[in-house]
Amino acid sequence: MHARRLLTPATLLLLLLPSIALAQRPRELDRIARAMGATNLKSIVITASGVDYAVGQSVVPGAPWPRFTVTDFTRAVDYQASALRDEYVRARAEDPPRGGGLPSRGEQRVRAFLSGDYAWNVVNDAPVPVPITLAERRLQLWSTPHGVIKAALANKATIKDRTLAFSIPGHMNVRATVDRKRLVDYVQVTIPNAVLGDLTIEVRYADYKDFGGVQFPSKIEQSAGGFPSVDLTVTGVRPNAAVDIVVPEAIRQAGSPYAKVASQKVTDGVWYVTGGTHHSAVVEMSDHLIVVEAPLNDERALAVLAEVRGLSPKPVKFVINSHHHFDHAGGLRAVAGEGITILTHEVNRPFFSRVLATPATVNPDHLTRTGKKGAVEGVRDRQVLSDGTREVEERLLIQADAYTPAPANAPPPTPPHPVNVNLADNITRLGLDVEQLLPLHGRIVPVAELHRAVGR
C-alpha cells in the first residue's frame, strides 16, 4: 500500500491564503474583491432550498444523476480556517427511484464537515471520517463566489478580460468569469475523481443581492460531468457570522479508514473481505484468484489486493465489478494499474474502457503513474468462470445494493423495499439454490433474512 502524503491544515492555509505581501496579483483582482465585498469577508453563512443530485449514482452510465429535494439547507464557511459545514434535509424527488444515493426512501438529515485536511460527517451524533470527500468539499468551499476570489488572490491567478485562472497543485484547476459589475457569474473547477481521473464541475451564479455590503447570488446552479448536480435558491446570507468548526478528536485519530481490511473464510477457497463500509469477496481457482469488487478509491483497492495476496500466493487474474456507481467502481483504476482484467456487465464496458484510458492530470493516481490502460471484458446474461474443478457464476450470491441486511434483531422494513423484493423474486425466478448472502454492504446472512425483510 502506498502511503498518502497529507497537507496539514496550516500548510493548506499557506497554499490558499498567504499574506498579501507574498502575492503579486493584478489590480483587477483587487477591484473584483472590492466589488464582491470579499476584501474583509472572513466567514459567511447562507440558507437555501432546492434540489441536488447524487453524483456518480446514475441508473446506467451516461444517464443524469438521481434527483433529490433539499430543504433547511445551511452552509457555513470559515475562509480563514479553510472550513465548511453543510446541514440540510434530503429526500428523493423521483418515484420510483432511479439510480443510487441516500436516502433510498424517506428523509435523511445530512451534516457534512470540512476543516483543512479533515472531512467527516455526523451520523446520529457520532463523527464519521469520510476522507474520500475531501476533493469535493474543498471544491464547494473555494468555488463559492467569494472563495474563488480569495483563492485566486492567494494562488497567483492570471486574468484576461473578465476571465481568471489558477491552480492549487494537487487539488484543483480553476477558471472563473465575472460580469460587467465584477461579480462572479461562472466557475469551472477540475478536481481528482477516483473513477474518472478528473471530474469537471461548473457553477453558475445569478441574481446578486446586497447583504450588508457583501454581494451574494440568489441563484446557484451546478453541474458535474455535464449533468445537473445542484440547483439552490438562496433565502438568507449573513456575512462575517460566527463560524466555529472544530475537528473532533475521533476524526483526528481515525487514520486511514479505507486501508483497514479484514478477511473471513466463508468456505474452502472463498473469503469475505471487509473492514469498512464497502466489502469484497475472493474466490480461489486452481491457478489464480478472482476478486469481487474494488470499491471506493486507490487506497481501498490496493489494501484489498494486499490482503488477498496474503491469503494465497496465486495471482489475481480477474476483478469482478458489480456495477458502475462511483463508490463501487472507485478502485478499478488501481486494479487496472496492477494489470488485472476487469469483468463487468456489458452495459458498463464502454464507459470503463473509456475512463480507464484517461489519465488523472490534477493529481496523478496509481493507474496514471504506471502508464497502463487496463483491460475490461463485458458480460451479458451469463458467464461461467471455470478451472475444471470450480465454477463461478450467479449462483454464488455476492450482491451490491440490492439488499443490505439490517442490524441483527431489527424489525423488517414496512412496507418492504421494492429493490429487496426484486432480488427475492429474481432468486426464485432463476431457481437459484442460495443458502447465504454475501452483501457488499453489511454482513453475511442466511437467505432467510432476505425473505423476512420482504415479508415471506
Across the chain, what does the average pLDDT equal? 90
**pLDDT above 90 (res 443):** no
Q: Which amino acid is at 12?
A: L
Q: Which amino acid is at 348?
A: N
**The cell 483497492 sits on which residue?**
301
C-alpha pair distances (Å), 347 with each of 253, 325, 376: 41, 13, 12
pLDDT at 21: 34
pLDDT at 436: 80
Is there a contact between 115 and 79 (Cβ–Cβ < 8 Å)? no
Q: Are strands 67-78 and 43-53 parallel, antiparallel or unpaired?
A: antiparallel
* Confidence grade of residue 417 (pLDDT, cut at 50, 70, 90): confident
Angle between helices 145-154 and 9-16 (to 10 degrees): 90
pLDDT at 335: 98
pLDDT at 396: 56
The residues near 215 (Cβ < 8 Å, ≥ 6 apart) are 35, 36, 37, 145, 183, 208, 209
SS3 category, 47: strand
pLDDT at 22: 36
pLDDT at 24: 45
Whether omega before 411 lies within 30 degrees of 0, making that bond cis, reads no
Q: What is the mean pLDDT of residues 64-89?
A: 98
Q: How many CB atoms lie within 10 A of CB 19?
A: 8
Q: Which one has a higher pLDDT value, 279 or 433? A: 279
pLDDT at 138: 97
Q: Which one has a higher pLDDT value, 95 or 243? A: 243
Nearest of 285, 270, 306, 256 to residue 444 by alpha carbon: 270
CA atoms of 348 and 332, how far apart (whole Å): 12
Q: Which amino acid is at 2?
A: H
Percent of the chain's residues with pLDDT above 90: 74
**The cell 478528473 sits on which residue?**
198
User: E strand or H helix at 168, and its extent?
Assistant: strand 163-168
**pLDDT above 70 (res 183):** yes
**pLDDT above 80 (res 381):** no
**pLDDT above 60 (res 395):** no
**pLDDT above 70 (res 265):** yes
Is there a contact between 419 and 412 (Cβ–Cβ < 8 Å)? no
Is there a contact between 11 and 171 (Cβ–Cβ < 8 Å)? no
User: E strand or H helix at 302, and its extent?
Assistant: helix 298-311
Percent of the chain's residues with pLDDT above 70: 91
pLDDT at 399: 76
Range of lowest pLDDT (252-266, 267-281, 425-439): 425-439
User: E strand or H helix at 201, and its extent?
Assistant: strand 197-211
pTM for this structure? 0.88
**pLDDT above 90 (res 398):** no
**The cell 453524483 sits on which residue?**
55
Q: Which domains does the chain have, with CATH numbers?
A: 9-251 (2.50.20.10), 257-453 (3.60.15.10)
Residue 368 phi, psi dihedral angles, 5° rounding: -65, -40
Is there a contact between 401 and 419 (Cβ–Cβ < 8 Å)? yes
Q: What is the mean pLDDT of residues 42-71?
A: 97
**pLDDT above 60 (res 10):** no
User: E strand or H helix at 36, and its extent?
Assistant: helix 27-36
Q: Give 248's DSSP letter.
A: -
pLDDT at 427: 84
pLDDT at 13: 47
